[in-house]
Amino acid sequence: GQSLEQPSEVTAVEGAIVQINCTYQTSGFYGLSWYQQHDGGAPTFLSYNALDGLEETGRFSSFLSRSDSYGYLLLQELQMKDSASYFCAVYPSGNTPLVFGKGTRLSVIA
Amino acid sequence: KAGVTQTPRYLIKTRGQQVTLSCSPISGHRSVSWYQQTPGQGLQFLFEYFSETQRNKGNFPGRFSGRQFSNSRSEMNVSTLELGDSALYLCASSLAPGSNEKLFFGSGTQLSVL
């Protein structure tokens, strides 16, 4: 089976950098994804890591280390609009659906 | 290109009733998945459909069922509603199974069971 652990809440200051960690236990997977969800909104795809290393998309970067069973989402130059919930998700091997963590609620304060 | 459309947006039902939720995927997307989201519990997988066939089913009781039509639209049904079924039900589409690394979600149907 698969399980993912991420902090439930994180608070950071506008303009700062924040890292949201995701540790997982899985028997095998293709990659790790990150989704953002604003209150009352739909989850939206942010990034996907199929390989170890860093993927950068504008202010957001995502990292994966399979040997450490660990990944993170890095948000730079935080803006108030980044206040949202962030979910990591593994794409397991085989005919199995995406498995999500319980989400990290990020609050950006002035 | 229109996104994933879910109807209705809000529903209020009473215990024992049944409910049907609808999802229209992005045009060209043939895979549809359903998730249940409750506060603090993340997204729990319900079903996955492709070409009108259920490919996967999550760990939910038989009261939860679904189907997919030839135009890829999908519906899910919950019978004999319980208070614990109150949740946001999200539908997501992707081009096909195997492209699950990137799902496109609808805004969901917020179901309240009284």
CA distances from A98 to A55, B5, B13, B44, B46 (A): 20, 20, 29, 10, 11
Closest CA–CA distance from residue A38 to any residue of chain B (Å): 10
Q: Does B95 touch chain A (CB under 8 A)?
A: no
Closest CA–CA distance from residue B100 to any residue of chain A (Å): 6
- Tens digit of each residue's pLDDT (9 = 90 or more) over A57-71: 899 999 999 999 999
Which one of B45, B55, B107 has the shortest CB-CB distance to A42?
Answer: B107
- Tens digit of each residue's pLDDT (9 = 90 or more) over B34-71: 999 998 778 999 999 999 999 999 999 999 999 999 99
What residues contact A56, with CB distance under 8 A and at least 6 apart?
none
Closest CA–CA distance from residue A97 to any residue of chain B (Å): 7
Q: How confident is the model at residue A53 (pLDDT cuts 50, 70, 90)?
A: very high
Tokens of A71: 């990944």
pLDDT over 70, % of chain A: 99
Q: Which of residues 69-88 of B touch A (CB under 8 A)?
A: none
